[in-house]
A and B are shown apart, each in its own frame.
Chain A
């Protein structure tokens, strides 16, 4: 379970009490990589993802007073990022354009896992639904616990666990991954 660190608490307090943009900038520096990484996997377009990340952090700045300090700050940020992504997707057709360009469906024939395929995360992401992609990214790329993922994605814990299991099964089946292959 990620906890809000003393450094984060200090920066949050400074940003809130003194409207200190520099303190908030330090918080952004600490977490931008994970937030942008998550959004890049969701939007699958770096420029679009970075725009959404900027909007997410601006919203986080506005809503900073609502952060209760319970749970992790990164979980709170990722929740805002996920909601901003969903809103931006609803508003704009850009996301659909990107998906069309990338081709949502992977190659017809099942792909065996090799070194090249492992580095090509897009193939794995493409077979997952948007919700599954979010859950898997939050869990495996952002390192959130299942409970934090459930809170971030606003889903019951049981649903998160079954979505993870289903996503793993999809990846296993599509790419013919045997358990003994990933040792």
Chain B
């Protein structure tokens, strides 16, 4: 009894295997040739990488070019303001910093440092 039951299970398993093979043959079509599929995808990825790599510097350049005029204007008005305020605090300082008749060196340097700091910080913040 035990043997015959075991035989039945074996026959059933064998039949399932044959059916599985049949279905496998049926579903498993021929391999699909690449025909430029992966090359096209590689191109898309490279394009995406390039866009990501150049978009931020590009945006900074364009933004910088647009902001250049107002920035120069702002710098001019700031130096005028500093020229008015500094003598009120320390009358000797302006004379010392503008000895050559140029823009106040301390003011220009601090503004330039602030701009460089901002330029370094903004891309970092954008990246984060």
User: Which residues from chain A sit less than 8 Å from chain B, CB to CB?
Assistant: 19, 21-22, 24-26, 28-29, 32-33, 36-37, 40-41, 50, 53-54, 57-58, 61, 118, 121, 124, 136-137, 140-141, 143, 168, 171, 179, 182-183
Contact = CB atoms under 8 A, between A and B. Distances in A.
B54 interface: no
A50 B37 contact: yes
Contacts of A21: 42, 45-46, 49
Interface band, chain B: 20 to 34
Given A53-B37, A124-B26, A32 B44 contact: no
B29 A36 contact: no
A171 B23 CA distance: 10
Given A28-B41, A57-B41, A37 B32 contact: yes
A40 to B, nearest CB: 8
B23 A36 contact: no
Q: Which of B15, B28, B39, B46 has the most CB of A within 10 A?
A: B28
B23 A168 contact: yes
Q: Which of A40, A53, A61, A143 has the most CB of B within 10 A?
A: A61
A140 B22 CA distance: 10
A37 to B, nearest CB: 6
B38 interface: yes
B34 interface: yes
Contacts of B37: 28, 32, 36, 50, 53-54
Given A26-B38, A28-B37, A137-B27, 11 more contacts: A21-B49, A24-B41, A25-B38, A28-B38, A53-B37, A57-B41, A140-B20, A140-B23, A140-B24, A143-B28, A179-B18
B19 interface: yes
Interface string B1-34: 0000000000000010011111111111101111
B73 interface: no
Contacts of B27: 41, 121, 136-137, 140-141
B41 A25 contact: yes
B49 to A, nearest CB: 6
Nearest to B20: A140
A25 B49 CA distance: 14
A179 B32 contact: no
B31 A33 contact: yes
B23 A121 contact: no
Listed from nearest, the 5 A-B pairs whose CB atoms lie closest are A182-B22, A140-B27, A25-B42, A141-B27, A28-B38
Contact of B15 (A25, A37, A54, A179): A179
Contact of A182 (B19, B38, B48): B19
Contacts of A168: 19, 23
B24 to A, nearest CB: 5
Nearest to B24: A140
B40 interface: yes
Contacts of A19: 49
